[in-house]
Chain A
């Protein structure tokens, strides 16, 4: 078995992060421009020019060869790039490869970037693959896998409608504290249950938003980070696990391979769930939050529903979760992972404004891609945690 090498712990850090055009982009703004604006805003925070960027990381559903096209647009000549495309979790994976590249000296200023106009220029989702003889006839991937996972969770653990709704209500409470969040009007358990049914048992309120938006994150080596900002967010650990696209081939639909990605990340970081002060969990659907609370070790298997419903993940709770309002209430332009990194940086650097939660020292930022296919756990810490 792989021996987790902790030598990457706290060797790289986020020093800046910015978003642009979240919700509905300004009229006429394109995805390239949104991503460009987020990049310039992030660089300005630390007094760097686009000419200082020599590592480009990102993925896009608008451009297959995203690092090439975005680097060209910004006049960046990368020494290193990673365009790994594993859905929404891509950006957590990019943070890991950025840390590797920075530590190895392959680049010195790493930009992780994403931008999309998924809401304002809504159209057919781009097809980034050839026809799949075994999946295409069934429409079983995407949201329907999440629906079938929720059905199993209800069946195996007695998860109730209100427990499933709890992450949506909590997300909306957080969104109320975030002027950038797309949906801020109060949401009740009853309203989630009575919303339009999309795929049994998921209603439209169990599903993430479809918005526009861009995010950019700047990472450097830790020794440089302390010269640039007073509160870098250090990458303490990261782990990856993949579980295919065909949901019939998985051992179970109620335990994701986040159990494996988180185990690897905890081992690298040298922390355990009780040390964690905040969670950013990829909430493409409400069921995700229940599954990830369990699979990342914050409660026993099957207890995700009661835990979410207890209020610990909501504002004022002991385990603040999805503090920007998440993909359910803040922003979700097809892929949400970059926005989770931006929120993690905002909280660790204590620049989250009205939704700032104290001084979070250890933040788990867990990305999910495809239909529970890709799980990437990243763990970030303040200087105190290092």
Chain B
């Protein structure tokens, strides 16, 4: 496991810039190969500090989803991306069946960036 000085770039700012431009930025560990979505400075899987960035193709399956009956009633989900990691997302339509193929629909950047998926074509 590589244990290097922390990068001088702050990963959160880097991530925000990438996602605001409409892509799903990923971080890959150069040691164990684990892929992560939320910005980090150390690999959550193995502790390595040797990381590089890549981009998600934006395709995956529904790991779990719930229709909230709270105000706003979003469809809240966890998506398993084809790159092998899971992220939080909202679904554009009511898809509660686990395993449904989905793809990135949009990223709402009006406030904190929100990832929205839809059924794959």
Contact = CB atoms under 8 A, between A and B. Distances in A.
Given A199-B69, A200-B96, A136 B87 contact: no
A300 interface: no
Nearest to B110: A137
A152 B63 CA distance: 8
Contact of A133 (B12, B86, B108): B12
A63 to B, nearest CB: 27
A148 interface: yes
Contact of B67 (A136, A155, A200): A200
Interface in B65-114: 65-70, 72, 74, 76-79, 86-90, 96, 98, 108, 111-114
Given A136-B112, A152-B98, A247 B78 contact: yes
Contact of A148 (B76, B87, B90, B114): B76
Nearest to A196: B69
Interface residues of B, number: 32
Nearest to A144: B76
Given A134-B38, A139-B68, A148-B66, A248 B112 contact: no
A125 interface: no
B54 to A, nearest CB: 18
A199 B68 CA distance: 4
Contacts of B12: 133
A198 B69 contact: yes
Contacts of B108: 137
Contacts of A155: 64, 98
Nearest to B71: A139
Contact of B66 (A135, A147, A248, A249): A147
B70 A137 contact: no
A134 B64 CA distance: 18
A43 interface: no
Interface string B44-69: 10000000000000000001111111
A136 B108 CA distance: 13
A12 B69 CA distance: 45
A135 to B, nearest CB: 7
Nearest to B73: A199
A97 interface: no
A148 B78 contact: yes
Contact of A140 (B44, B70, B72, B78): B78
A29 interface: no
Contacts of A359: none
Given A148-B64, A152-B98, A138 B76 contact: yes
Given A140-B88, A247-B78, A152 B68 contact: no
Interface of B: 12, 16, 37-38, 44, 63-70, 72, 74, 76-79, 86-90, 96, 98, 108, 111-115
10 contacts: A136-B112, A138-B76, A144-B76, A148-B64, A149-B64, A151-B66, A199-B66, A199-B69, A201-B66, A249-B86
